[in-house]
Each structure stands twice: as structure tokens, then as C-alpha cells.
Amino acid sequence: MIYDVIVIGGGPSGLMAAISAAEQGSKTMLLEKGNKLGNKLAISGGGRCNVTNRIPKEKIIENIPGNGKFLYSAFSVFDNYDIINYFENMGVQLKEEDHGRMFPVSNSAKSVVDTLVNKLDTLYVNVRKNTPVQTIVFNDDLHTVILTDEEEIQTQSIVIAVGGKSVPHTGSTGDGYKWAEAAGHTITTLYPTEVALTSDEEFIKNKTLQGLSLQDVRLSVLNKKGKEIISHQMDMVFTHFGVSGPAVLRCSQFVVKELMKGPKEVQMTLDIFPDRHQDELIQQIFKLIADDPKRTFKNILKGIIPERLLTYFLNEINITDQQKAGNISKETVRLFTELLKNFIFKVNGSLSIEKAFVTGGGVSVKEIIPNTMQSKQMNHLFFCGEILDIHGYTGGYNITSALITGRLAGVNAAHEATR
């Protein structure tokens, strides 16, 4: 039997591609090497599945710093609002949460995955799980998929949707890159994004701040000249190896890219009060001192920031626990507020690509037709999802990219097969 379309990979983009191809009337097969479909969907959004984001497409593309502009053509065909309608028309009611994030009303990723899997059944897609692909033999007329047990399956069109190298327990282990290269594609440098960062700072090695969470702070990445590259105002946490949390994850790709240029460390700055001016903080502390000069400086500052961070900052400017507020100089207050507004520390790396949420790099988008996801290098070959050199922040942006590219790849693979 010769298939019209074979989709390799049962993640978000692969499921969407297989459904979309079958909806065009194509004889479709979906191959998944694991024993479950939709693994990444199942764990996304803390197990609740952040399917997309209800904000203007320009804003979504801003939140996909890794080649997001490539998706403008795709968004003109099928966009985030289409994703919302798509799921609601299949019976998955969605609700909007902070920052436009869309979740199923059920609060369960399983309802999203089950709906997609059931759709495959109703469209008679031949789904084969526990079926790893060994290689693909590309030809002008028919492509041949060779499984690890040497079985050969022929198809008119092929969609590669096997993901990147991040979160490998979901099945994304980088299998697709060698197939893409065999078809003449360039794989851009792979690196971790949306990943925790490591540091050799003494306060990290000594675990001084380990486990300390900070809310709504502004974290920035500086280049070697000390100029700000990017900043994000979100939460963060100090860990036993460095820093993590939403602000860190968003800054991480910019740190990794700087380190790829050669430096051993990258500077980050932390502003604990991003919505307040330093002068305002200085005046607040002067008033606290004037109101109670006989109390210790440390005691009048309690509650301004977490106590462990307060202790660390006071040690940094050589203030003891016993020093009275009335004896504190204006210069000391300035130094303290400088730490509150511009605490500089260095990071020297990240956790591995396997421990990152998202893979940076992949199949070069210069070699992909942007409104169809078709290869410019090989007939009847399509790519979608994280195998492409496209990556966004967490918050539904990567799944949006996966579903949109999956939709285009599936529809156009079907059209090519019957052309």
C-alpha cells in the first residue's frame, strides 16, 4: 500500500498535521516511536495544556524571538484565533487566563490530547505507536520510510514532526535532523532555550540564597560592553546551581547566545523594585531612619525585601546586624538602594539542552516555504513544530507555532500528494 501522507512524530505538530492531511481526504499514516501520543501536550501548562494565546498575532510573534517573523505568512492562513475555534468546534471549551493564555475549561491536558486522538480515529488515520523510524529514502516520485525492524512503507508526501532535543522523555531526541540533512537541509546550531542558568558566584556556591523566590522583578542580560540586550519583568528563584523561574527562562536564550560568542561569563542585573525610582527608595529609607534612629538599620528594613536577601545585601556593604539606623550615612543608604535597583551577578552557562523546555536551532527556515511548510530542497517533504529553527517563550507560544505549522504542513502535504 502506498500512502498519500506519512507524518512522523505524534506531538502537537504531528497530531495537527495528520488530522489536517486526513481532513483533505488523504490516506494518512501517523508513526510515533513511543507508546503514547501527545506527550508534550500532556505536560504543557503544568498538565493543564496552554493550547494558545488570545492576543494579536503581532504580539505572539514578538513572543517567538527565534525566527517568529517567519510565521507571518503562516498566520495569514491559520492563526491563534483559528486554533481557539478549531478546539471549540471539536468540543474542547477554552478559557482565558493571565496574559491571554488559553486553557481547556476542564483544566486537564488529557481532554485536549483525547480529542485530537479521537479525531484521528474518526478520520481513519492509521496510527502506529511503538514504531521508530530508522531512515527515510527520498525520491522525486515516492519517499520510502524504513522502520527499525526493516519494514518499508512508501508515501507520496512526508511530514517530519519529531521535535527537537529538549524534554527527551517525551520522545524528542533529535532523530529528525539526520533525515533533514539527507534531504539537503541545513541544521542551524542547536542550543537550549527556556532553560535554567548556572553560576559560580560565591552566594550560589555557598547556597546563601538557595530556594529564595522573588516576585515581579526585572531581570536583564548585558552584553560584554555592559549594554542591555533584553529584560523581563517576572518572577525568579535562586537555586543550588544558579537561577531559574519565568524571568530567567525568558532571558536564557540571550545568555546562551552571548556565551556562544566566546566569553566565559555573562552579566545579569536584577531590579527588585522595577516600578519604583531609586530616589524614591532612598527617601523612604531616610524617613524610616528619622522615625526610629535607635533601632538597628537591619530591623527598620525588615519587610522591604526577604530577610535572607536583606542580610546578604547588608553584608555586601559591610553593615553589621547591630548598627543603629541613626549612624548610617547617606552614602550607605545609596549603596543599599543601588543593590535593590541594580544587583549585578554573573552566569556562566545553562542546564543541558535535554533539560531545557525548548530547543533553539534546527532546520533552517530559509529552506522552507513559509505559507506551506514545504521543503525548498526536496519534493513532497514538509516540516513542522520544534524541528524547525523556530522557538518562543513559554506561555503557549511554542504550542501555537507547532499547531499552526502542523496545520499548514498537513494540508499542503495532502495537496501535493494528490497533485
Instruction: State residue 359's pLDDT score.
Output: 94
Q: State mean pLDDT over 311-315.
A: 93
Cα four-point dihedral sign 109, 40, 71, 196:
positive
Q: How confident is the model at residue 7 (pLDDT cuts 50, 70, 90)?
A: very high
Q: Phi and psi dihedrals of 10, rounded to 5?
A: -105, 35
Task: Give the Cα separation of 393 and 236 in Å (integer).
Answer: 15
Q: How confident is the model at residue 169 (pLDDT cuts 50, 70, 90)?
A: confident
> Is 369 within 8 Å of 362 (Cβ atoms)?
no
Asked if the model's pLDDT at residue 327 lies above 90, the reply is no
Asked if the model's pLDDT at residue 272 lies above 90, the reply is yes
Q: Of 374 and 49, which is predicted with more confidence? A: 374
pLDDT, one tens digit per residue, over 280-304 is 999 999 998 888 888 899 999 888 9
Q: How confident is the model at residue 217 (pLDDT cuts 50, 70, 90)?
A: very high
- Three cell numbers at 94? 477554552
Query: Around Cβ 311, how many Cβ atoms within 10 Å?
Result: 16
Q: State mean pLDDT over 390-396.
A: 92
Task: Give the Cα separation of 382 and 413 in Å (integer).
Answer: 7
Task: Give the Cα separation of 400 and 392 in Å (integer).
Answer: 9
Query: Around Cβ 231, how many Cβ atoms within 10 Å?
Result: 18
Asked if the model's pLDDT at residue 99 lies above 90, the reply is no
Instruction: State residue 41's pLDDT score.
Output: 87
Asked if the model's pLDDT at residue 171 lies above 90, the reply is no
Instruction: State residue 158's pLDDT score.
Output: 98
Query: Where along the chain do the CATH 3.50.50.60 domains lie?
Result: 2-191+359-418
Instruction: State residue 315's pLDDT score.
Output: 92
Task: Give the Cα separation of 281 and 130 in Å (integer).
Answer: 60
Q: State mean pLDDT over 258-282.
A: 95
Asked if the model's pLDDT at residue 313 lies above 90, the reply is yes
Q: Quick one: three-class SS letters along 115-130?
A: HHHHHHHHCCCEEECC
Worst-scoring range by mean pLDDT, 10-24, 89-103, 317-331, 373-387?
A: 317-331
- Three cell numbers at 407? 496545520
Q: By C-alpha distance, which of 295, 413, 293 is closest to 8? A: 413
Q: How confident is the model at residue 170 (pLDDT cuts 50, 70, 90)?
A: confident
Pick from 49-63, 161-175, 360-374 the range whose average pLDDT is largest. 360-374
Cα four-point dihedral sign 184, 11, 52, 84:
positive
Instruction: State residue 325's pLDDT score.
Output: 83
pLDDT, one tens digit per residue, over 25-77 is 999 999 999 999 998 888 887 889 999 999 999 999 999 999 999 999 999 99
Which fold does the domain 2-191+359-418 belong to in CATH? Answer: FAD/NAD(P)-binding domain (3.50.50)
Asked if the model's pLDDT at residue 136 lies above 90, the reply is yes
| Percentage with pLDDT > 90 across the chain | 85
Instruction: State residue 355's pLDDT score.
Output: 94
Instruction: State residue 148's pLDDT score.
Output: 93
Q: By C-alpha distance, which of 235, 245, 233, 257 is closest to 65? A: 257
The upper half-sphere exposure of residue 389, i.e. CA atoms within 13 Å in the direction of its Cβ, equals 19
Q: State mean pLDDT over 128-156.
A: 95
Residue for cell digits 494540508? 411
Distances (CA, A) of 179 to 99, 200, 296, 329: 38, 39, 67, 66
Residue for cell digits 508515501? 155
> Is 375 within 8 Å of 387 (Cβ atoms)?
no
Q: What integer best gives the mean pLDDT of the chain? A: 94
